[in-house]
Amino acid sequence: MKKLFWAIALVIVGATVGAQEYIEPVETWKVEEVWGNNYHGWSFHQDWEVDFTIDGQDGRCTPTDTEIADAERLIQKKIAYVNRDHINQGGKCPVIDEHMRKYRRQYVGFTNDRGDHIIWVNYLWDENLTEEKLASDVLLTKGGCGHFWHVMCNLATRQVYGLEVNGTEDVQYLPRVAKPKPRISKAKGGKRQRVRKTGILHNDEDKVFEK
């Protein structure tokens, strides 16, 4: 009887445990590294303070994987036309739409008074920039010509606009007007930050950014 009792008890306990829903723990960061088809960058959470605003701004948003992939497709499709005047480009200064893979990106999300999501994308081509630096804050620069530029993409209207290419003087990384906060948070247990895959990449072996 004792053996039968324990057998029944184990079955009941096993059934109870099996019925419980397992919830995968989720860790979040204020900055996330993102990869996709022909792009590699860092996405900044809507709570991350920046030193600039955009026309018609009503608030901030956190760019999602889908939004970043969508913005990249639109920009890569339209940038040659938007950049048709080639301001601060040519000679030793690269023509930006001819070297899109060379740039690493930083993404900041905004909303306007119509509720549209607008992605501000910062493009940086500097071999001396470390990944730690690119993930530490939104980097504003002066000079460096076609190596440094930014543009905006309205995901609702499909418009790519506001292109600004740096001047031809030597590049300077501009100091913060105010101390950035919140700072990037660390993953628990010393783990590396999660890499969000966007665009069409699906396999680990595909996560190689072609420079």
Highest mean pLDDT out of 101-115, 174-188, 191-205? 101-115
Chain segment 40-73, per-residue pLDDT in tens: 999 999 999 999 999 999 999 999 999 999 999 9
Chain segment 149-190, per-residue pLDDT in tens: 999 999 999 999 999 999 999 999 999 886 555 544 444 444
- The DSSP 8-state label assigned to residue 90 in this structure reads B
Cα separation values, 178 from 24, 27, 51, 52, 60, Å: 37, 27, 8, 11, 18
C-beta separation of 159 from 81 below 8 A? no
Cα separation values, 171 from 83, 122, 174, 202, Å: 21, 15, 9, 36
E strands present in the chain: 31-36, 39-44, 57-61, 104-112, 117-124, 141-142, 148-154, 159-165, 172-173, 195-197
